[in-house]
Each structure stands twice: as structure tokens, then as C-alpha cells.
Amino acid sequence: MKRKSSIIVRLTSVVIALTMVSCADMFDISSNSVVYEKVNDLGSTADSIYSTLGILHNLQQIADRYIILGEVRGDLVDINDNTKASLRNISEFNFDADNEYLNVRDYYAVINNCNYLIAHMDTTLAHNNKKVMLDEYVAALAVRAWTYLQLAINYGKVPFFTQPIMTVAESEADYPKLDVAEIGAKLIPELLPFVSKDYELPSWTGISNSGGSAQNLFPPLQLVIGDYYLWSQDYQNAWDTYYAYLTKNFDIFANLPTGGETTKFPGLVPLGSGRAYLYDNRSTSPSTMNYGYTSFLNISILGSGSEALMVTPMENSTEDGTVSEVASLFYADENTHQLIGSNLWEEISDKQAYCMGSNDATKPNEFTLYSSKGDQRRETVITEVKDDELEYEMINKFASSTALSPDGRRIAVSRYLIFYRRALVYLRAAEALNCLAEQQGDGEKALQAFSLLKDPFDLLFPIGGENDSYRPYRTDMRRSLLGVHARGCGETYLDTTIYVVNPTAIALYYNYDPEQTITFSDTIHYVEDRIVDELALEMPFEGNRFTDLVRIANHRGAEYLANKVACRKGSENRDETLYNKLLNKENWYLPFK
């Protein structure tokens, strides 16, 4: 049999098993078995639910790899003496054939089960004039597109097919190998008709560990489309898609204060939660920690108004089903964790300034910068351990609870892994808008992109826009409309000296000669580098970092990525061997096996 068939052939049995699945883990809905013939349409709501639950079970199998492949190759995570060989090799870009994290079979299990559901579901079935299977159908389209996206950004060109593989002969067919842009060109047209929201992603109750509602278990359609546009360098459509999601999302209704009242803004996605310090903490220096930043990344994320937009819940024990190992890789007793935050991540955090407004109500625009405080988000996701012999840090970002390992050590357990959340949408929207500014030579768009990090009010409530009448209440609404950077650095919208876009700030950021002329290209790169810094501050260890760097390097050059990753141990300790390896873009992609 051809080698390529070994990757796909087992899907023949997988698609039958998992679209006819009786789920024994968290997706169990108390049924012994359900059996369908592959020639039949999925002709009832029970059929569609069981089939979709099978797809969610498949997503659990690739959830850890999203984090591991996206972070271990990046610049924010480093290895230590405990790191096992498979992770060490990924970190060093030595991709051996037997590496447990590199097999693509589980990705294609998701895709092929989606293909089966899409091909066989009866979307015409209606009850009370509602097409009762449309929600699950669109969910399958979104999951398939998202999974192909992950494959393509990690492996480069990958076999592409949209019909379910049911026979060995079909598994041996010569499928075209497409990259991200080519796959997007195939899939976006079938997703766009559903953006109008004539459907709702499935929202079942009673699924364990899901907080009651399962709607957040599926990738939002607009965000998948926006990501394809962004990777394809179609920045106008990427920006339009993200902006529409932030301002016209049908699932999110923001309640914002307006002059002593609270007004509902349909479709607005604000960033009002997750501050590293209490908003009203204006003592002589910032000192009181608000752990809400980490708590909003935990179990409370699910449900209406949550930070999380796509979540995969994991089991607490292997007896129940699939358990994530991510938390225990970063957090375990006796200094036995295998992954650590890099020195470069610490540098990026430490060089930030914390901004605090004045206590004097008559001087609302006064502020103080605390350059020694750094970005406080780092402090909320690390645990410092000190005793007579050891002093070290661990990352607690994924630690929902703890459990005993087989050898008796206490390790962290993660009940949820997050793949989309509100802050990420703001940051990707900023990236798209800044790249569009470069394409069009429009400096104003670059300033707007920066505003998504610092103070997005004017962009979200433009003069003359439909919500223009609320502009007088701008001050009242600041708490809910803070920029992403404020989550770790205080009232940054007040800062007029450092966190700004002007020649002085740009020269300071790059350590230029003060007399050097600042060009348009310098401004574009400055805004982009601030966005990349913000991704490091807000989104570390969540699975996006290496692929974010790849996307930026696709237009900035290989040296950009190579230098970032090679400086994990600090900007003054570049790994020249790794740097030279990463100058070759072929080494960015995983071997397809």
C-alpha cells in the first residue's frame, strides 16, 4: 500500500465508528449505541447530535497538539532538564518520524467525520418552519475548515478532500495538496452564506464539564473565515470580517454604562474583564492584585458574555476519557515540570510600563508611569516556588485543579483549552488593519490598528456612526472598552509619552539615533511589533505563538522569525545554530506522516 494511504486509510473505520458513535466520555448523552448505514442520510435530530458529538470527541484528540506545536516551537517557551525527547526535538526543530505529536491521522479523523456528516445530513428536515439540522451542519463546516487551517499552517501543503473516505480505494486516491490560501479559496465560499446567522451553533445542555451550554465548543464561523483571509494576505477582507464580528456579532450583547445608565449595544464585543489590577486601585503605587485575570480564563469562561469563544473541555481522569497533559507539562511538584516560560517572555513583560491615573477628579488626564512594574499579566500566570534548596517558577495558566501522577507527584490538570477568545480577535483585527495600512500606504489605518491595543472607542463608535449619540459618555464607558494592553498595564489610554505612535516613541523602541528620520515603513513595523509584543503579553502558552510568527515572517522575511525563536534564552543569548536553521523556511513546517 502506498505510504500516503497509511495516513488516511484508517479513516474508513474511524468515520463509521465515530459517526455511529456511542460516546463513553463527557459527550455521553446516555445511550448504549446508535448505528447508521453509510448509504443513508442522517435523517433525524438524534442522528445529527450523535454525529456532532463524535466530531467533538475527535477534537479532544488534537487539542493538546494545538498548544504544544504552537508554543514549543515559539519564542515564549523553553525546555529544561526534565523535558522528554519528543518535546525537546520539537523545540530544537528536529522532527523525527516517531514523534508522538506529529501524526496527522487524528486531524483527518476530524475532517473525515465532518465530511461524512456534511455529505449525509438531511438539512431540509424542518419543524415549525425551522430547519432542525442546519445548526449541526454549519458546525461541521466550521470545524472542518478550522481543522484544515491547523493542518495547513503546521504542515504546509496537505492532502485536501471534502467527500468522506469510505473505502481503501478512496484512501489511496491522489488528492491535491493545497496550502492555506488554496484551501481557503475552496472553503470560504461554502461558509460565507451562513455568516448572516440564519442558524445557531448547537447549544445543548447537560454535557458534563461544559458549564451547561455547548455553544462555545465550536469555532465561530466569522473568525475561521477571517483567519483564512489573514493567512492569505487578503487584508481588506480579513479586517472587514474581524471588525464585523467585533461590532455586529449576533451572539454578544454588551451592556455598557452611559451617563449613569446601562445601555445594551447589540453585537459589540467589549474587553471589560480580565484586569491584572483593580480598576479603581489608585494608591501611591499599584500593589493590590486582582486575580480576575486568571479566573476569567478558567471555568467561568463558558456561557453568555464570556471571554472564551471556542473551548474544548477535557476529562479529569483517563477513566472518563481524554485527559490533557498540557497543564502538567508546565506545572508539577518537586520541580518536575517539563516546559518553562522563556527569558525572552520575561524581557518583553519587564520592559512594559504600568500607567496609573490621578486620584484628583479635577485632573482626569494626569497619569504616572511605573517603569519598574512591567506588565502584570505575567505575575498572574506564574507560581514562584522557594525553599532552602530550590527557587523556580511554574506556569499555572492551565491549572484548573491538581491530581496525583502514577509516580505519586502532584500535577496540574486542565479541564479546558481555549482556542479563540475576545482579546485574540482584537489583536488579529489590529494585525489585519495594520497590514492593510501598509498595502494602501495609509498611515491613519496604522493609528487605528494601534488603537485596538490602546483605546478602541473611536474605532468602535465612529463619528457619524449609528451609535454616535453615545460619544458624550465615553468616560463612563472606558471600563468596558479598554484596549488589550490595559489588561496588564493599567489606564494606558492616558499615556501620552511611551505607549504612543510618534517619531520619539519609535526611536526609543528601536534604540535609534534621535536624529534618524522615521519613515512610513518604520511606523508600520513599530505598530506591528507592538501587536506582536501584545500577543506575547496577552496570549502566551495558548497555542498561537509560533504560527503568529510564521504569519508575520511571511511578509517581514525569514530573519524575523529566526531571530525571535533563537533568542528564547534572552535577546543577548541568541542561539546561532537555531537561527541559521530557521532561515530556511522549509524547517518551519512539520513532516507529513
- The string of pLDDT tens digits covering residues 316-359 is 777 778 889 999 999 998 899 999 999 999 999 999 999 988 87
Quick check: helix, strand or coil at residue 95? coil
CB-based contacts of 388: which residues, under 8 Å, 6+ apart?
none
Of 212 and 316, the one with more pLDDT: 316
Of 171 and 231, the one with more pLDDT: 231
**Residue owning grid cell 516517531:** 98
Residue 56 in this model has a pLDDT that exceeds 80: yes
CB-based contacts of 283: which residues, under 8 Å, 6+ apart?
none
| Cell numbers standing for residue 515 | 536624529
Supply the mean pLDDT for the chain.
84
Listed range (39-48, 451-460, 527-536, 538-547) with the worst mean pLDDT: 39-48
- pLDDT at position 135: 86
- Taking the mean position of all CA atoms in its chain, how far away is CA 419? 4
CATH class of 3-220: mainly alpha
> Please, what is the Cα angle at 465 between 464 and 468, to 5 degrees?
75
Residue 557 backbone class (left: φ over 0; alpha: ψ -120 to 50; beta: rest): left
Residue 284 in this model has a pLDDT that exceeds 80: no
Sign, CA torsion 389/393/394/400: positive
Alpha carbon distances (Å) from 28 to 205, 416, 547: 12, 17, 34
Query: What is the pLDDT averaged over residues 413-421?
Result: 88
Query: What is the pLDDT averaged over residues 270-277?
Result: 74
Distance CA 246, CA 551 (A): 22
- pLDDT at position 351: 95
pLDDT band at 127 (very low <50, low <70, confident <90, very high): low
Of 295 and 346, the one with more pLDDT: 346
Per cent of the chain over pLDDT 70 is: 83
Residue 11 in this model has a pLDDT that exceeds 60: no
Q: Domain map of the chain by residue range? A: 3-220
pTM of the model: 0.90
One-letter amino acid at 121 equals: M
Sign, CA torsion 506/509/513/514: positive
| Cell numbers standing for residue 58 | 475527535
- pLDDT at position 454: 96
| Cell numbers standing for residue 537 | 503579553
